Structure 1
Amino acid sequence: MAMNPVKLDQQTIQDVRNLLWGSALKDEIFTRWTQGFSFSEDEPTALVQHEGGPCAIIAPVQAYVLRAALFKDNPPEDISAVTEEEAKELLCAALTQILIDVASSTYRVVSLDNSSSEQNTSNTQEASTSDAAATEEAEDGERSPKRPRLDEDLFHSRLRCTECEDEEALRTCIKSSIPDFTNEFGVLLHLYSVVLTKGIEQIKNEVEDPGESLIDCIHGHGSQSLINLFLSGKAVTNVWDNDKEVCGLKLHGIPRQATIGFLTLLEHMRYCEVGWYLKNPRYPIWLLGSETHLTVLFSKEENLVVRESPHLNAKQIFQSFDPEGNGFISTIQLADLMSALNLVSEKEYVDIMTTKLDAESLGIITMHCFMEEFYPGESTTDTPRSFTLYHYNGLARSCIENKVRYQSGKATIPEELDVQIITDVSTMKMCLETKWPTIEVTWNSNHIPSLN
C-alpha cells in the first residue's frame, strides 16, 4: 500500500542537497534544472529540454519512454502517431521502471506540498504566468532564464515523500503524480525520487568520490555517476565492465548488462573506454554523450543487442578475473573462477582441470580453452548488416527547423572495410564507430544529427 506523503526532515533535505548540488547551489543552475517532463508538439513521444544541464535526467527518461513504447506486447506501429493520453502512459511507465531498477527495498516518490500560504500560492501562480509568457517569447524553442520562479529554499522546504512498498502501489502513486512531473519542477522531483529510492548512503558507497556532487557546481551538468545510476541502477563513476584494481585502488565499473546503453565521443578521443555492458544493453537504445550533452540513439532491430546467457555470463565473469584484458588468467585463479560460476570447485577436480587446460604447464589458462571446455557451442545472433537507426535530441535549437523530432537514418555495416574516401567526419560518426567501427549511416534529409 502507498502511504500518505510526509514532509522530509531537514537533515534528509540537507543530505540530498549536498549529494546533488554540493555546498553552494547557484541560482542560475537551479533555474536551468527547473522544468517538467513535456512532450514535443512535433513528436508525441519526444521529451523537450529547455536549457542545458538536465539532459542527465531527461535523456535517460526518454530512453525508458522508448523502451516502454517499442519493446512491449503489441507496440504501436508508428510511435509518431500515439495520442497524448498514450504518451502520458508511456511517461508513467518510464518513471516507474527507473525507480524499480534503482530500488533495493522501499520506493519513494517525491512531490511538492501545494498547501502553502496564500502568499506563496499567489507568487507561484504569478511565476507560472510569467513563465508561460517568457516561453512564448523565447527564441529557438528555448525557455527564457529570466523569469520569476519558486526560490530553491522554498522548493526544498515544500518537498514531501510518499513511500510505496510494492510495484503496484508505486505505479498507482506515479500515475496520480503525473501532473507534478509534467509541471515546472517535474525533472527535479523525479531526480529526488531516484536518489531517495536508491538511498543516499548507498550512492555514496558506489561513487568514486563521495565528496563530489552528482551535478557539477560550475556548469550544471550531471556526472557520469548520475548517468550510470539511471542506466544501470548503480551510481558507479566508471564506464568499464566490473571492478578494476589500479595502483592498489579498487575502482568500480558497471557490474552487469545495462538496461540502456551508453556510447560517448570521449571514447573516440581516448579519454575513456566503455565496456561491453554499456555498449550491449538489454534493449537497442543508447545514450550518446558529447563533451557537454546527452542525446538518444535507438533502433527497433532487437538483434543489435545480445541477450544474457550462461555463455555470456561466464565470459564476463572470466574477464572480471582478467581486469587487464590479457585473455588469460593464472592457474591459481581457476578454483575461485569455477566457484564464482557455481561449477564444481573441489580441489581434486580443479587439479584435474588445471592439468587439462594448462597442458604445457605455462601457469596460465586462456579464455578460449576455458570456454571451450565448460561452455562449448556458443550460440550467437549475427548483427544485421543493414538496419534503421533513430536519433533524438531534446534541445530544439539543435534540431532541424527547431522542432524536436526523431531523425532516422539507414545504417550499413560492411563485412570488410574497403579502401574508401572518408566523407563523413562528424562527431556522430565518430561516436557510433566506438561500437560499430565500419558503420556508414545515410541520414534523412542528408542532415547529420547533432550530439550537442
Structure 2
Amino acid sequence: MSETQQPIPPVCSIPRRLVISPTLGGTPVTPQLTESFRRILFGGTFHVFNYEWRKSVFQFRQLNSELSFALEMDTGGAQAVQMVIQARVIKHLLFSRQSSSDGRTLTSLITGQRDQERALAAALSESLWLAGQEVSTTVTLVTEDYCITPHLDYKLDNFTERLQLFTFKEKEDVSKFILEHIQSFTEERSHGVILFLYSLICSRTVDRLQEDLNSTTSHLLHLRLGDFVCRQALLNLLVTGRASPHVFNGTLYIGEDGLPLDRPLQGVLTRSDVGYLHWSREQMERGRLPQVGSMLKTPRFPVWLCSVDNSLSVMFSLNLSLVSDWRTERRFHLFLCSGMSAQQTAARLTVDTHSHHWEASEAYRDSEKTFPSLDMTIRTKWDGAAVIWND
C-alpha cells in the first residue's frame, strides 16, 4: 500500500438491502468528484457529515393521520433540506394530482403509502431537474464496492466512496428511477438526505455551482453550534435550482454607497414552483433584515418555505389563484406545517389585507415587537395584513 493511501474499512454502514448491485449500471464516483463534494459542501476535504446528518432521511408521518403528508423532521442542519422537499410534496399532492380547485381541501393531502412514495419521488426529481436546468439530472446511489482509493488528505466516511451515478435526460425517467429506489432515501440508515444532496450537486455540476456562488462564499454549509447548517445559497439551490447567495431579484451592480461593485452580486432570476419568505426579529432590530424579492415571494404555486427567527416551516394555500389573481388576496386562508413532532394537524390562519385593524391599534408604532414573528413574515408578502389564528 502506498504511503499516501489509507486502509479501506471492510464494512459499509448502509444496510445491505439498500446497496445496489454493480449490474444496475451507472458510473462510479471518481476521486476528483468526492473531493469536490467535500469542498463545495464544507470548504475542505477533511470534513465529514456528523451523526445528525447521516441519520437524516425523508420519512413520512403515520399513514391515514391528518398529517400523513408531513415528513418527520430532524432538529439538525438537514431539516432545511427536508423542509424544501416537504414544500414540494405538498405542492404535488394539492396541485399536480388534482388539476381543478373544486373540492380541494386538507383531506386532499391525506395519503396512503404509495401516494406518499409517489409524492416524494416527484418532489425529489423536480428539485434535481431544476438544478440540472431542466436538461439533465443525476441520481447517486450506494453500491457494494469502493469506487476509489482515498488519500491521506481525504477523510473516509465509508459511504461517499461507494457512490454510483445515474444520469437522465428526461424528467419522467428521473422520477421513475427514484420511485423504484425510494427506500434509498426513506429507510433508516440509508443516509437519504445526504444521497439527495450529492445528487443535487451532480445535477447542478460543480462548475455551475462555483459560478452561482460568485466568490461570495466558497461552500454551501457552515458550522454553527457544532452542526453544519445550510447557507442561503443552498436554500436557493433547493428552491430555485440555482445556488445564488442572495434573495433579491436579478443582479446587483451598484453597492449601498452608490458606487459600482467590483463583482456584481447574484440574486434570484426566475420564479420557482414554490416560494420563500424570511423574517428575523434579531436581524430586524440590527437593521440587517434581507429584502426577499418578488421572484421568491410570488411562486407559481401558493406554497412557501418560511424562515422565521431561524426556524423553518411550510405555509400553503388551497387556492391556486392566490398567486395569480390579486382579487383573491383580499381575505384568504393559509395553512402552516411547522415540522414539530407535537403538531397533530395543520394550523389554519386567516389573512385579511383590507381590514387594517392592526394599524389602527396603539401597537402600530411598535408593531415588530408586538406581533408574532410569523405574522411579520406574512406581512413581508402582504403588507399591513391582519393575521387571525384559528383554533
TM-score between both structures, scaled by the size of structure 2:
0.78
Give the Å deviation of 1:80. 4.5
In the alignment, which residue of structure 1 is the partner of 2:50?
Answer: 30
Partner of 1:64: 88
Q: Distance in 2 between matches of 1:25 and 1:70?
A: 42
Question: Which secondary structure does the structure 2 equivalent of 1:194 belong to?
Answer: helix
Q: Partner residue of 2:125?
A: 96
Does 2:350 align with 1:410? Answer: yes
Q: Partner letter of residue 157 of structure 1? A: E
Retained in 2: the 8 A contact 1:268–1:430? no
Matches within 5 A, 1:41-56: 41=62, 42=65, 43-56=67-80
Query: Which deviations, in whole Å up to 9, do the C-alpha atoms of 1:307-330 show, x marking residues without a partner?
Result: xxxxxxxxxxxxxxxxxxxxxxxx
Q: Percent identity?
A: 23
> 1:61 and 1:444 mapped to 2: Cα distance?
26
Is 1:195 the equivalent of 2:201?
A: yes
Q: 8 Å contact 2:94–2:109 — kept in the other structure?
A: no
**Contact preservation (8 Å) 1:55, 1:293:** no
One of 371, 382, 386 as aligned partner of 1:440: 386
Decide whether the 8 Å contact of 2:185 with 2:192 is kept in 1: yes
Aligned to 1:147: none
Q: Distance in 1 between matches of 2:127 and 2:80?
A: 13
User: In structure 2, do the counterparts of structure 1 residues 253 and 211 end up closer, same or farther at CA, with 3 Å as the change threshold?
Assistant: closer
Counterpart residue identity of residue 259, structure 1: D
CA contact (8 A) 1:244 1:250 kept: yes
1:216 aligns with 2:222: yes
Deviates more, 1:60-69 or 1:433-442: 433-442
Distance 1:214 1:444, change over 3 A: same
Give, in whole Å, the separation in 2 of the partners of 1:52 and 1:196. Answer: 23
Q: Distance in 2 between matches of 1:71 and 1:305?
A: 13
Distance apart, 1:24 and its partner CA: 6.2
User: Do the aligned partners of residues 48 and 262 (structure 1) sit closer, same or farther apart at CA in structure 2, a change above 3 Å counting?
Assistant: same
Aligned to 1:273: 291
Counterpart for residue 295 of structure 1: 313
DSSP 3-state at the match of 2:194 = helix
Pick aligned residue for 2:182 from 178, 181, 185: 178
SS in 2 for 1:408: strand
Query: How far 1:425 moved relative to its partner?
Result: 1.7
Deviations 1:183-215 (Å, cap 9, x if unpaired)?
Answer: 231111111111100111101101133653201
**1:418-433 matched pairs, under 5 angstroms:** 418-422=359-363, 425-433=371-379
- Deviation per CA, 1:28-71: give whole Å up to 9, x if none: x5212121100122511101112221122111101110110111
1:257 is the counterpart of 2:274: no
1:20 counterpart = 2:41: yes
AA matched with 2:117: K
In angstroms, what is the RMSD of aligned CA positions?
2.5
Residue pairs, 1:269-418, within 5 angstroms: 270-271=287-288, 272-306=290-324, 381-396=326-341, 402-403=342-343, 405-416=345-356, 418=359
Check conservation: 1:26, 1:217, Cα contact below 8 A: no
Q: CA deviation at 1:157?
A: 1.4
How far, CA to CA, are the matches of 1:260 and 1:74 in structure 2?
Answer: 17
Tell me which amino acid in the other structure corresponds to 1:282. R
Give structure 2 stretches of 5+ with no counterpart.
Answer: 1-23, 147-154
Alignment match, 2:20: none
**1:48 alignment partner AA:** E
Q: Give the match's secondary structure for 1:160.
A: strand
Q: Report the residue type matching 1:435 in the other structure.
A: K
Distance 1:86 1:73, change over 3 A: closer
Say yes or no: does 1:244 pair with 2:252. yes
Confirm or deny: 8 A CA contact 2:35 2:45 kept in the other structure.
no
Aligned residue identity for 1:99: L
**Deviation digits for residues 43-102 of structure 1 (CA, Å, limit 9, x no counterpart):** 111011122211221111011101101112536641453112111111111111111111
CA distance in 2, matches of 1:383, 1:83: 32
Q: Structure 1: which 5+ runs fail to align?
A: 118-150, 307-379, 397-401, 446-452
Partner of residue 6, structure 2? none
Which secondary structure state, in structure 2, belongs to the residue aligned with residue 296 of structure 1?
Answer: strand
- Match in the other structure for 1:8: 29
**2:139 — aligned with what?**
109
